[in-house]
Structure 1
Amino acid sequence: MVKKLQEYFNRFNLHNVLGGALRVLILRVLGVIFLFGITLYLTNFYSAEVVGAYEFTRSSLFLIGGVTLLGTDQSILFFSGRFSKPEQAGTLFQVYLKMLALLLGVSIVLLGIILVIPKEYYNLFFNDQRSGTLLIKMGFCLFFYAVTLFNTEFFRAFDLHEKSELYRGILKQLPFGFGLLILFLFNKHDYVVEVFLLSFLFCALLSGLEVYIKYKRLNPVVSRQTSIRFKTVLKATIPITISAFGFYLLISIDVFFLKRYTNFETLAYYGTSIKIIFLISTLINVMGSYLSVRIADLFVTDQVALQAVLKKGVRVIVGLALGLSVILFVFAAEILGVFGAAYQEAVPALRILIAGHFMSTLFGVTQVYLNMTKKQVVLQYILIIAVVINAIINAILIPKYGMLGAAVASAFSVIFWNGCAVIWVYKKDRIKLFLH
């Protein structure tokens, strides 16, 4: 399998772009497969209401946990480049500890806000008696979730890319999958959310132990001359946080609107469709991670070569996405049926999502390009507009059309913000990110 993939990449003359990252790609694909395995097990052995509660909690954790991260998962890579020499490892670990303290402080503040808001307000907004309790439980998990994601990226600072992908795709989900099996054996189906949240406690402790072992092996020395202040850390993290929060809102706001106007069962059906769409977005994310360093370098040194690399990259993305999208679109009913007959109710919504997200692949790696060429502020403005539009469409369509309206809002938003970014980049840099 590895040999065939390598031949495929060589045929497109991408071996210089992809380098030795094939094993990382395989680990990411295995992580997606593992996620689907857990979802299949969950949807076939647990009720749609339980699955919907899990999806609601998962989306809430994804959104609020993204704020808790405060961009530390990305900014630590910036500091790892700044302090890349072996003798600077002590300073890098000093930054790590400051960011860890930052995560703890933000987690406590957000948990306090969640607890201060009366539960009746949650119940009133989401039209049920359970959502407030789920949000409070999620709040207690924020720190462990943030630490897990933070440590996962910190491994990349030491070129441990395979370990990072192993945590991202498999180890992060393994405790949850094992917990689901135990719940099923003991007939305790109502504790899925609790097991899901506790799995991040396990991952935070395990990844933290590995970071500590790495620290002891290096035995770094911290120099007073290179001491990093909290102000410096915040300057690196805040801009990333704003962009990240925009993305988290775009991919989760429809879930909250759906919960307000429908029920947990509908949330389960729609959430499963979103996981299927994740296959398409993974193609863009993988290619973007391969091209990021090249984009940053060539943008300064050789824009002709940059255009050539981006042209190849978008062609590979669209080629792979086209085949995948056609299969998903044609066999949407059969694929959803694997998760349970009732999940086929989401077939129209899934097909709209497939069409929208495939069209977004025609624009290439817009997010990576803007971030790597120091245009984060532009990305922030585009995302803010996209979030507002997304919220308006959701508010109009979901009360009348349910998850079909949510799918339309999601598809339109992803096309809108990518299209705006592509147009802006072409006018500003004369670089074609889109398929051509």
Structure 2
Amino acid sequence: MKRLIGLVKAKANVQTFGTIALRGAGVLFLFGISILMTNNFPPTVVGEYEFIRVFLLVFGSLCLLGTDVSILFFSGKLKALHSFEEIKNIYFTIIKIISASSILCFGIFFVFFSKAQVDSFFEEGFYEIIFNSLLVLSFYVISLFNIEILRAIDKPILSELFRNVFKYLPLGVGIFIHIIYIEFLTLYQYYIYGFIILFIASQLTVWYCFRAIQNSRTQSFSTKEIIKISLPMGVSNLVMFLLLSIDVFLLKKYYGSDYVAFYAIGIKLITILSVVMISFNINASQQIAEFFASGTKQQIQVLTRKTAKKIFLINLGISAFIVVFLNEILMTFGEAYLYIKEAIYVLLFAQLFASAFGMVPVYLNMTGRGNIYQLILLVALLLNGALNMILIPKFNVMGAAYTFALTVMFWNIIVTLYVYKKDKINLFLH
């Protein structure tokens, strides 16, 4: 038995660090693309792309309805019930749900928002940009869900390759097309139309992987039950993306696309720390669901403690490196991007603080209390919105950074206190 447990732990560690390695390679790939962008396009064009990227994150999360998170919950649940083959039925049900929601989202925008309204809020010509982005929304959300189903059926390497490399390949190709002076599409168009290619590739990959899973004649979870379980996770996910996008929308409104580009580079730098957190959390999330379903809280505490320690120590080293070489790092994007230097210090502190709280982002979702997590994040969203509206008009990117830090500290502390009170499990580094 001990040998079996040891093998399971070894496999989990290999998957975790394999995920970090792949995500790290993906981050380097994305940074390479970003450097090419900032050195070959003016900040206004880069900011336009960054705005659409964030825009799709928010609306994609809205249309996914939490299914990209819940599929990991269903995977862990089905494994505990020895009914894993039912994952295929759940997958096809969810595809129908998110396809319908993305079509509905596009219809609502088309009916209720006019060109004059959108252009007057942002700037002339922005309606067309948003309209084109929503045209590919269905491809976008199904592609993102396919990436998560690959992880749910134990194909983490394929999942990470799609998430961190294949997802940005069309954009990279588009930048090289621009560099060799061939005018074809704009920067944001390479990004959004790339999801049509990603959809086709990910769909074929999922179908191929499903061949190894037996068909199930039973359906343990109805459409209504899937939505009921997923929706609280979806609201939490949506709130998280809104927390990361309100500042972008306000910077665009008050200062224009240039400042969006500057702030986006700062956010990308701290994304390196997020990659470590997400990698550990994703690989441990199914274990949390299994342990909680079987009532083994002691194993959960051991897992959360070790996870928090690993996340913090790795991110501490990364943060120190970024601080020491920050000038050199920013200069690779162009001298104009040194403007974001002071804000990056604030963003790094916030993300390192969050690292000490380990599995806060997934614990409540994986233990069936997504509604509580949702409520906490909604309060954090209200705080974030209020602070951004006060601080951004006065301090531009520094106001956005201060708001980010205060919000992150707030919701991590509240979730940790709630979990300790209810489960006597300490998610904080100890």
Report if TM-score (shorter chain) is over 0.5. Answer: yes
For residues 406 and 103 of structure 1, do their structure 2 counterparts lie closer, same or farther at Cα, with a shift above 3 Å needed? Answer: same
Whether the 8 Å contact between 2:16 and 2:280 is mirrored in structure 1 is: no
Pairwise mapping of residues 332-343 of structure 1 onto structure 2 (< 5 A)? 332-343=326-337
**What CA deviation, in whole Å up to 9, does each residue of 1:101-155 have, x standing for no partner?**
22221111111122220122222222x1133222111111111110111111111
Single out whichever of 175-184 and 20-29 deviates more from structure 2.
20-29
3-state DSSP class of the match of 1:186? coil
Whether the 8 Å contact between 2:67 and 2:230 is mirrored in structure 1 is: yes
In the other structure, the counterpart of 1:362 is 356
Q: Which of 107, 120, 124 pairs up with 1:124?
A: 120
3-state DSSP class of the match of 1:402? helix
Pairwise mapping of residues 7-406 of structure 1 onto structure 2 (< 5 A)? 15=10, 18-81=13-76, 89=85, 91-116=86-111, 117-126=113-122, 128-188=123-183, 191-215=186-210, 217-218=211-212, 221=215, 223=217, 225-226=218-219, 229-299=222-292, 300-406=294-400
Q: What is the CA-CA distance between 1:294 and the residue it aligns to?
A: 3.5
Letter in 2 for 1:121: Q
Whether the 8 Å contact between 2:380 and 2:407 is mirrored in structure 1 is: yes
Q: What is the CA-CA distance between 1:222 and the residue it aligns to?
A: 5.3
For residues 301 and 218 of structure 1, do their structure 2 counterparts lie closer, same or farther at Cα, with a shift above 3 Å needed? Answer: closer
Whether the 8 Å contact between 1:144 and 1:201 is mirrored in structure 2 is: yes
3-state DSSP class of the match of 1:435? coil
For residues 17 and 87 of structure 1, do their structure 2 counterparts lie closer, same or farther at Cα, with a shift above 3 Å needed? Answer: closer
Identity, in percent, stands at: 35
Could you tell me how far apart the structure 2 residues matched to 1:24 and 1:417 are?
Answer: 26
Whether the 8 Å contact between 2:312 and 2:356 is mirrored in structure 1 is: yes
Could you tell me how far apart the structure 2 residues matched to 1:227 and 1:335 are?
Answer: 51
Whether the 8 Å contact between 1:332 and 1:351 is mirrored in structure 2 is: no
Could you tell me how far apart the structure 2 residues matched to 1:39 and 1:272 are?
Answer: 8
For residues 390 and 241 of structure 1, do their structure 2 counterparts lie closer, same or farther at Cα, with a shift above 3 Å needed? Answer: same
**What CA deviation, in whole Å up to 9, does each residue of 1:12-51 have, x standing for no partner?**
xx84752544333321211111111111111111111110
* TM-score for the superposition, normalised by structure 1: 0.90
In the other structure, the counterpart of 1:6 is none
Letter in 2 for 1:119: K
For residues 103 and 290 of structure 1, do their structure 2 counterparts lie closer, same or farther at Cα, with a shift above 3 Å needed? Answer: closer
For residues 20 and 75 of structure 1, do their structure 2 counterparts lie closer, same or farther at Cα, with a shift above 3 Å needed? Answer: closer
Whether the 8 Å contact between 1:50 and 1:190 is mirrored in structure 2 is: no
Could you tell me how far apart the structure 2 residues matched to 1:61 and 1:29 are?
Answer: 23
In the other structure, the counterpart of 1:4 is none
Whether the 8 Å contact between 2:76 and 2:290 is mirrored in structure 1 is: no
Whether the 8 Å contact between 2:319 and 2:352 is mirrored in structure 1 is: yes
Name the Cα RMSD after superposition.
2.4
For residues 79 and 358 of structure 1, do their structure 2 counterparts lie closer, same or farther at Cα, with a shift above 3 Å needed? Answer: closer
1:409 has 2:403 as partner = yes
Could you tell me how far apart the structure 1 residues matched to 2:385 and 2:93 are?
Answer: 35
Q: What is the CA-CA distance between 1:189 and the residue it aligns to?
A: 8.0
**What CA deviation, in whole Å up to 9, does each residue of 1:262-297 have, x standing for no partner?**
111111010111111101111211221233234334
3-state DSSP class of the match of 2:391? helix
In the other structure, the counterpart of 2:3 is none
Could you tell me how far apart the structure 2 residues matched to 1:125 and 1:221 are?
Answer: 50
Letter in 1 for 2:159: S
Could you tell me how far apart the structure 2 residues matched to 1:31 and 1:229 are?
Answer: 36
For residues 363 and 78 of structure 1, do their structure 2 counterparts lie closer, same or farther at Cα, with a shift above 3 Å needed? Answer: closer
Consecutive unaligned residues of structure 1, counting only runs of 5 or more, are: 1-9
Whether the 8 Å contact between 1:87 and 1:221 is mirrored in structure 2 is: no
